[in-house]
Structure formats: C-alpha cells, structure tokens
C-alpha cells in the first residue's frame, strides 16, 4: 500500500523485535514506562531508555519526544503521550499524539517507523476508531512530507491485528490514495424546520456533531450529492434546496483538504440517523452541542447570522 512515497503495512508481531529506525511507544505524559507496550520496551531495551526519558519528561499530553532505543533492534523510541497518569484519552489526544510522533521523525530524518495501537491498552480507546484516526494522520503526513519510506502498524494480538488490517486495507487506503492529490469536493446541508437545524452525531472520526454531508460521488452534481447525503444520513427528503456558501480553508477538515459547497434546505419531518450517523436531531441557535466537527460551527454561525 503506497501513499505518495511512503509504503504502509499492517503486520502482526512484537514491536520490540522489529528492525526499523524508530518505534512509537504509547506513553503517558510523565514518560514513566511501567506496563503494557511501554513496559515491554523498557524491559527489552534496558534502563537507558527510561533514564533518557526522565531527562525529558513530563511533556504535554498529545505531544511526543524521542530517545535512543537501548538494546532494541530499533535506533530510536518515539514516546507519544496519549494520556496523563489518570489513564484518560480521547480522539483528539490520539490524533495529536500520532501527528506529533510523525513530526518528530523529521529531527533524525527517520525513514522507517512502527506504530502500536495508541490509546487502546490502559486508555481503553476503541481499536477501530484508533485505527481510523492513526491512518488518517499517516496519510496526511505522507502527502506533505517525504522522509518516511515505510510505516508499519504492528499489532500484538490477533483481534487488534484483524481490526487494523480490515480498516486499513479494505476501507480506507484505496480511497485515500486516490483522493490525496487534489482538494476533495464535498457537500454539507443546513436543514431547517423553522425552529432549528439538523445535526448528526458522527460514527467515524473526526467525532462530534456535524451538519449532514459528505464526499461528492463520481458522475453526480453537488445538488444531487446534497439530496443524497441528506437522505442517507438523516432519512429526510429535503425541500427548497439552495446554495448557501462555499468553504475552502485547507485546514477545515483535519484529514485532508476539502472544499465544501454548503446548501440550505427545509423539512417538516423528524430526522432518523443512518449511514455514518449514530444520532440525528434538531438544535436551535441557543442549544448547539459543545463538540462540533470540522468548521461547521462557523458555517452554523454564518447561517444564523444571515437568517436573522
């Protein structure tokens, strides 16, 4: 599986035995290597890894630091802080920690890197969600940075390997390889019933609430895509579809560069979550959810401002 100049592979095995330039440790921000993957790295690599880490830590949750790898076959250990000592993590921390680990490879011009499943041990973050987040960050990094020639996701248990393998090889990589060369056209729909607008709760990362929408499909217009996405995610056949604005900030989507044509529409029906949505409901201007994905809060604020 090739993304730009970077080869990606999912393998089952022991990350401490892999011959790569660097391995990523699922660390706490104090860089204390007690149990799990960190404990295995410390045991096989010897005390020098912890001694170096002690000179660096603590670091910010979501950041990463690099040490040498002691007696391991790798040259370096990149300690990606996926939690504090309260063992709590979430999607944004895992995303930042993955991104930080990738960025650290520039310091030593590292060409081969191995990840374990970040946040899925004592952090108990769902494996499938971690796989999606980590894959998105690797693809995004490989698009703009070419120092890495090989990235491994190496998983110790059969269950974790199977989940990563399915997500990486079957669901995401082929699509991402095709889509990362240019901005991706998308649509979003503001569906208004006169009292509020429909937001969906996303099943997949980036998590949170969002306007219904998605990628345009080959051979369809943006208007057709808006009708389709509205029905797929909310079960609503909307009326009075009108183009609102275009949003194109390259950072509006943390996964890749998207350009969204945003539409307004109306309905007098109740939404029913489907497709990529696990919930769908109306929200008024005064009771919007705290966690809104992408740049959708800006879109919503623009809409309510203009509607007023």
Q: Which one-letter DSSP state was computed for residue 207?
A: P
Shared-domain flag, residues 57 and 115: yes
User: What is the pLDDT averaged over residues 23-40?
Assistant: 92
Note the pLDDT of residue 178.
Answer: 59
Reply yes or no on whether the pLDDT at 176 is more than 80: no
Reply yes or no on whether the pLDDT at 171 is more than 80: no
User: CATH no. for residue 274?
Assistant: 3.90.79.10
Domain end, chosen from 179, 203, 218, is at 179
Shared-domain flag, residues 206 and 148: no
Q: Which one-letter DSSP state was computed for residue 170?
A: I
Shared-domain flag, residues 190 and 170: no
Q: In the chain, what percentage of residues exceed pLDDT 70?
A: 96
- 15: domain range? 2-179
CB 221 within 8 A of CB 286: no
CB 281 within 8 A of CB 271: yes
Shared-domain flag, residues 252 and 171: no
Note the pLDDT of residue 34.
Answer: 83
Shared-domain flag, residues 153 and 252: no
Note the pLDDT of residue 175.
Answer: 60
Shared-domain flag, residues 191 and 108: no
Q: Read off the pLDDT of residues 77-130 as tens digits, 9 standing for 90 and up.
A: 999 999 999 889 999 999 999 999 999 999 899 999 999 999 998 888 999 999
Note the pLDDT of residue 256.
Answer: 81
Q: What is the pTM of this model?
A: 0.70
Reply yes or no on whether the pLDDT at 28 is more than 80: yes
Q: Read off the pLDDT of residues 182-209 as tens digits, 9 standing for 90 and up.
A: 788 999 999 999 999 999 999 888 899 9
Shared-domain flag, residues 229 and 150: no
Q: What is the CA radius of gyration of the chain?
A: 21
Domain end, chosen from 158, 179, 200, is at 179
What value does the mean pLDDT of the chain take?
92
User: What is the pLDDT averaged over residues 63-75?
Assistant: 96
- Number of folded domains that form the chain: 2
User: CATH no. for residue 99?
Assistant: 3.40.220.10
User: What is the pLDDT averaged over residues 255-265?
Assistant: 93
Note the pLDDT of residue 177.
Answer: 62
Domain end, chosen from 151, 179, 207, is at 179
* Of 3 and 68, the one with more pLDDT: 68
- Would you call 253 helix, strand, or coil by DSSP? coil
Shared-domain flag, residues 141 and 7: yes
Where does the pLDDT of residue 180 fall: very low under 50, low under 70, confident under 90, or very high at 90 and above? low
Cα distance between residue 30 and residue 85, in whole Å: 7
Note the pLDDT of residue 294.
Answer: 95
Shared-domain flag, residues 166 and 17: yes
Give CA 68 to chain center in angstroms: 28
Which of 7-21, 143-157, 169-183 is least confident?
A: 169-183
Shared-domain flag, residues 206 and 279: yes
- Would you call 89 helix, strand, or coil by DSSP? coil
Note the pLDDT of residue 81.
Answer: 96
Q: Which one-letter DSSP state was computed for residue 156?
A: S
Shared-domain flag, residues 191 and 85: no
Cα distance between residue 247 and residue 186, in whole Å: 10
Note the pLDDT of residue 141.
Answer: 87
Shared-domain flag, residues 74 and 207: no
Reply yes or no on whether the pLDDT at 275 is more than 80: no
């Amino acid at each position: 599986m090739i993304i730009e100049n970077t080869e990606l592979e999912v393998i089952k095995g022991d990350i401490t035995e892999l011959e790569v330039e660097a391995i990523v440790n699922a660390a706490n921000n104090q860089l204390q290597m007690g149990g799990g993957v960190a404990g295995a790295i410390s045991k096989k690599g010897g005390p020098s890894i912890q001694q170096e880490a002690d000179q660096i830590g603590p670091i910010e949750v979501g950041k990463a630091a690099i040490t040498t790898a002691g007696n391991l076959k790798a040259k370096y250990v990149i300690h990606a802080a996926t939690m504090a000592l309260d063992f709590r993590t979430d999607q944004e921390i895992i995303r930042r920690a993955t991104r930080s680990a990738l960025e650290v490879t520039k310091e030593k011009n590292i060409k081969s890197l191995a990840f374990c499943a970040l946040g899925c041990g004592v952090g108990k973050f769902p494996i499938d969600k971690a796989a999606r987040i980590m894959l998105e960050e690797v693809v995004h990094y490989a698009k703009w940075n070419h120092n890495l020639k090989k990235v491994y996701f190496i998983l110790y248990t059969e269950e974790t390997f199977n989940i990563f393998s399915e997500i990486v090889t079957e669901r995401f990589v082929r699509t991402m390889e095709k889509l990362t060369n240019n901005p991706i056209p998308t649509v979003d729909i503001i569906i208004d019933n006169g009292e509020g607008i429909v937001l969906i709760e996303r099943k997949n990362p980036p998590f949170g609430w969002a306007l219904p929408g998605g990628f345009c499909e080959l051979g369809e217009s943006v208007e057709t895509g808006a009708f389709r996405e509205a029905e797929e995610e909310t079960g609503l056949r909307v009326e009075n579809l009108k183009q609102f604005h275009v949003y194109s900030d390259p950072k509006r989507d943390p996964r890749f560069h998207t350009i969204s044509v945003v539409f307004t529409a109306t309905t007098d029906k109740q939404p029913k979550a489907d497709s990529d949505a696990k919930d769908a409901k109306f929200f008024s201007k005064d009771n919007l959810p705290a966690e809104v994905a992408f740049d959708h809060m800006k879109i919503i604020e623009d809409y309510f401002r203009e509607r007023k």
